[in-house]
Amino acid sequence: TLFPVLVNINYLFGFVDFGYLDMTPFAFTLASVFMAIGVMRYRLFDIRPVAKETVFERLPDGVIITDDRGTVVDINPMACSMFGVECPKLIGLNFSDAFSDSETVLSFFNSDQSNSELKVGKAIIDARKTIIHSSRGKIRGHIILLTEITERKKVEDALRQSEERLALAVKGGNVGLWDFNIDKGEFSINERYYQIMGYPGGDLLITFQNWKEFVHPEDLLPSLEEMERCYNGEKDYFDIEYRMLSKSGDWIWVHDRGEAAERDKNGRATRILGTHIDISPTKQIEEALRESQEKYRKLATTDMLTGVMNRYSLSELLRAETERSRRYGSPLSLLMFDLDNLKMINDNYGHLAGDEALKITCSYVQSSIRNCDYLGRWGGDEFLLIVTNTDFDGAIKVAEKLRAGLCVKEHKNFGKLSISIGVSVLHKDESDFDALLRRVDKALYESKKNGKNRVTSFV
């Protein structure tokens, strides 16, 4: 780029005489050739700079770059997310000012450590600091790489605790031990192994062949496959859980961990050592936990009085059905109803009778709808019925059928029951169900206003 400038200066001041000929245009031509060579040589328009920027922005680890004065010159979104800050506001600030709320990060940055584990809130972060040197060896800044290792630390802690428990169990004689010498065909087990199976030591001789007879048929093949991988050298060890027949005839759950202690020149195991632990109580706890989780899931999604869906689960389902209807163009109708004269039932017969009336109503509606329709309690004595793949006319027929069917039944405690129903359908241009809810609520209000025990619809 200086070449045309120098040629033009020569033309103006006449350092080298070319007569009246201005060489500047020729200089530009020659300069453009050099510029083209430079662009192609240094790949100015290559995708690499864009790719590098994209990688930096999308790294799963946090990265902070500072200059030699401690000023933050760049930071990626993951690092901002770790500390709950906004990236643009940090760039240009001194590191001490940018991270003044995080004492652990400041201490690490100002220390001579190159690696440390930092606790930021509830997260544990592995921080690594690298010095940036210039081509002449001067310090130009630092790169701090941040990796969240919270889950890994939890796993490590759990593993360490498990190993400690295993060591204590073995020391206390509560872990079965086995030694399988494959070349000699010898299978040796300790007394605890026998006790787990319910046999006092010496009452039974277990070999590898008759061990297979004690394993549950459904667990035998998967267990042998895992052991085979260890034997062939595909894995250094195996971890298996399987059911084993005890002396009492009950199936007990055991956990076996085996590791190859010796291998031949081809890599095949010649001796495998392992532990044998009774995990039946753990399996029982897991089963109880699954049942408990299922119970609490039901509590979280079900109305406990009527047994139908509660408002939360109904809202989630309505949102999903609205999206499905919008995506595939299938009709979606909504019915809102409530029990007529519920207050009168409560006043005359008591609240238990009112609760019973709600249960009867929900039971009747639930038994009268399709499996692809969904009933839930919206609040108080108001209920929503999501009628999928059904147009406006079809929804009105469903509503009339429900209303008429409930009226004909007589209940000894409080006579006949009736419901008022509002009906509407999702419009094709609606992306959510808010307007649909307003229409169906208004329709229900009109049914109550005009004498109850009727169906009102709004398109």
pLDDT digits (tens, 9 = 90+) for 22-79: 888 888 888 888 888 877 776 666 555 556 677 778 888 889 999 888 898 888 888 8
pLDDT for the residue numbered 220: 92
Model confidence pLDDT, tens digit, residues 91-124 = 888 888 888 888 888 888 888 888 988 888 888 8
Residues of the domain holding 125: 49-148
* 368 phi/psi in degrees, rounded to 5: -105, -5
Higher pLDDT, 56 or 342: 342
CA distance linking residue 455 with residue 403, whole number of Å: 8
Let me know if residue 292 belongs to a domain.
no
- Contact (CB, 8 A) for 369 and 332: no
Residue 187's pLDDT band, with cuts at 50, 70 and 90, is confident
Q: Do 366 and 332 lie in a common domain?
A: yes
pLDDT for the residue numbered 296: 75
Residue 169's pLDDT band, with cuts at 50, 70 and 90, is low
Q: Do 266 and 339 lie in a common domain?
A: no
pLDDT for the residue numbered 37: 81
Q: Do 396 and 269 lie in a common domain?
A: no
pLDDT for the residue numbered 399: 93
Catalytic residue set: 381
**pLDDT tops 80 at residue 441:** yes
pLDDT for the residue numbered 307: 86
CA 94 to chain centre: 36
Residue 311: CATH number of its domain: 3.30.70.270
Count of C-beta atoms within a 10 Å radius of residue 60: 7
Q: What is the mean pLDDT of the chain?
A: 86
Let me know if residue 291 belongs to a domain.
no
Q: Do 308 and 266 lie in a common domain?
A: no
Q: Do 346 and 432 lie in a common domain?
A: yes
**pLDDT tops 70 at residue 259:** yes
Beta bridge partners of 141: 67, 132
Q: Quick one: average pLDDT of 291-307? A: 79
pLDDT for the residue numbered 392: 92
Q: Do 314 and 209 lie in a common domain?
A: no
* 153 phi/psi in degrees, rounded to 5: -65, -35
pLDDT for the residue numbered 365: 92
Let me know if residue 67 belongs to a domain.
yes
CA distance linking residue 68 with residue 133, whole number of Å: 10
Q: Do 211 and 334 lie in a common domain?
A: no
pLDDT for the residue numbered 50: 59
Last residue of a domain, one of 87, 115, 148: 148
**pLDDT tops 70 at residue 167:** no
pLDDT for the residue numbered 400: 92
> What is the number of structural domains in the chain?
4
**pLDDT tops 80 at residue 129:** yes
- Contact (CB, 8 A) for 290 and 300: no
Model confidence pLDDT, tens digit, residues 194-218 = 888 888 766 677 888 888 889 999 9
**pLDDT tops 60 at residue 325:** yes
Let me know if residue 289 belongs to a domain.
no
Q: Do 215 and 330 lie in a common domain?
A: no
Q: Do 35 and 70 lie in a common domain?
A: no
Let me know if residue 260 belongs to a domain.
yes
Beta bridge partners of 421: 337, 455
pLDDT for the residue numbered 294: 76
Q: Quick one: average pLDDT of 393-397? A: 93
Enter the pTM of the model: 0.42
Let me know if residue 261 belongs to a domain.
yes
CA distance linking residue 441 with residue 413, whole number of Å: 30
Nearest CA to 419 among 378, 379, 447? 447
Q: How far is CA 80 from CA 126, 209, 256, 275, 386, in A?
A: 15, 60, 45, 46, 43
Q: Do 243 and 167 lie in a common domain?
A: yes
Let me know if residue 297 belongs to a domain.
no
Q: Do 16 and 120 lie in a common domain?
A: no
Q: Which of 199-208, 282-291, 395-404, 413-422 has the lowest mean pLDDT?
A: 199-208
pLDDT for the residue numbered 242: 93
Last residue of a domain, one of 42, 58, 74: 42
CA distance linking residue 50 with residue 46, whole number of Å: 8
Model confidence pLDDT, tens digit, residues 219-244 = 999 999 999 999 998 988 999 999 99
Higher pLDDT, 343 or 409: 343
Q: Quick one: average pLDDT of 80-91? A: 82
With pLDDT > 70 as the criterion, what percentage of the chain qualifies?
A: 95
Let me know if residue 153 belongs to a domain.
no
Residue-by-residue DSSP string for 184-247: TTEEEE-HHHHHHHT--TTS----HHHHHHHB-HHHHHHHHHHHHHHHHTS-SEEEEEEEEE-T
Residue 83: CATH number of its domain: 3.30.450.20
Q: Do 98 and 239 lie in a common domain?
A: no
Hey, what are 84's tokens? Answer: 């709950």
